[in-house]
Amino acid sequence: MLVLLHPTILNLLVVHAQKNCDFPAIINLGDSNSDTGGYAACFTPPTSPYGDTYFHRPARRFSDGRLVIDFIGFFANLTIQQVNASVPDIVNNFSANVKNLYSSGGRSFWIHNTGPIGCLPYVLTAFSSAERDSAGCLKPHNEVAQYFNLKLKEAVAQLRNEFPSAAFTYVDIYSVKYSLFAEPQKHGFELPLVTCCGYGGQYNYSAEVLCGGTIRVNGTEIFVGSCERPSVRVVWDGIHYTEAANKFVYDQISTGSFSDPPIPLKQACQRT
């Protein structure tokens, strides 16, 4: 049994142990960055242009196409200091969940850290006065993410010591996603901080009207649709990534190049 974990994602893959792992089934329990239908079934499902790139119709995914899992698989009213203070409890709860999964038979864990939230348009818009880094992302918010990732990696090391019979792979999603914002042209992307499917402002994002919605401007009803080329854009709706970005992330992390230990996904059931 291989368990894929993300701070907001828990993916359970049932496998037979062998040298190259075979993942015949996936059970995904997560937020809208990973969920392929449950969220939409419980709440309001996304409408066109969601899904246009790959499915050519809305497919209950909050992207123009597939999510990271398809390729396998915040601050509210708190201050930065308050969020930092909450990190140990979050990580401890995360570890407790891993232990519960271990007690239920989980022996192989693929654990993703969190991404650069300070690069997402919905955060950039909400915290417009915060300090920027060289990529134009919010520095304090990304520092929170990096602090969380540090504590998460420490927790993974502790879990390895506590459960030597299990395989724990820590995956640095943050570095892969940040490279899309820091060096977009190098990877074939453009306008990384600008929402593809959105409306208004510097980042083409407004919480008042989201992708697939309508807004009246000077008496004219405007449909909030997709940009012309989502295949070269990083952010889909200001919160979620495009299919192209998700595919890029999968291509990078599946090789093991951003993993500790550096083993590919197909061998993530192996202990080192």
pLDDT in tens, the chain (272 residues): 455 555 543 333 333 333 566 655 666 666 777 777 777 767 778 888 888 887 777 877 888 887 766 655 645 567 788 888 889 998 999 999 999 999 999 999 999 999 999 999 999 998 888 999 999 999 999 999 999 999 999 999 999 999 999 999 999 999 999 999 999 999 999 999 999 999 999 999 998 888 999 999 899 999 999 999 999 999 999 999 999 999 999 999 999 999 999 999 888 877 76
**Residue 195 DSSP symbol:** -
Does residue 39 contact residue 32 with C-beta atoms inside 8 Å? yes
Q: What type of residue sits at position 143?
A: E
DSSP E strand boundaries for the chain: 2-6, 9-16, 22-30, 108-112, 167-171, 214-217, 220-223, 259-260
Domain regions of the chain by residue span: 2-188+244-267
What are the Cα distances from residue 235, in Å, to 84, 210, 245, 267? 26, 13, 8, 30
Residue 66's nearest CA partner among 241, 263, 211 is: 241
Q: Which of 254, 233, 253, 222 minimizes the C-alpha distance to 63?
A: 233
What is residue 14's predicted lDDT score, i.e. its pLDDT?
30
The pLDDT value given to residue 13:
31
pLDDT at res. 245: 98
User: What pLDDT sits at residue 261?
Assistant: 94
CA dihedral (191, 193, 199, 205) in degrees, to 10, reads 180
Question: In angstroms, rounded to a whole number, what is the distance separating the alpha carbons of residues 104 and 63?
Answer: 33
Tokens of 259: 């993993």
Tokens of residue 76, six digits: 């509210």
Are 111 and 171 contacting, i.e. CB atoms less than 8 angstroms apart? yes
Task: Catalogue the active-site residues.
Answer: 32, 237, 240
Under DSSP, is residue 61 helix (H, G, I), strand (E, B) or coil?
Answer: coil
Packing angle, helices 80-103 and 139-162, rounded to 10: 30
Predicted confidence at residue 66, as pLDDT, reads 77
Residues 141/118, Cβ–Cβ less than 8 Å: yes
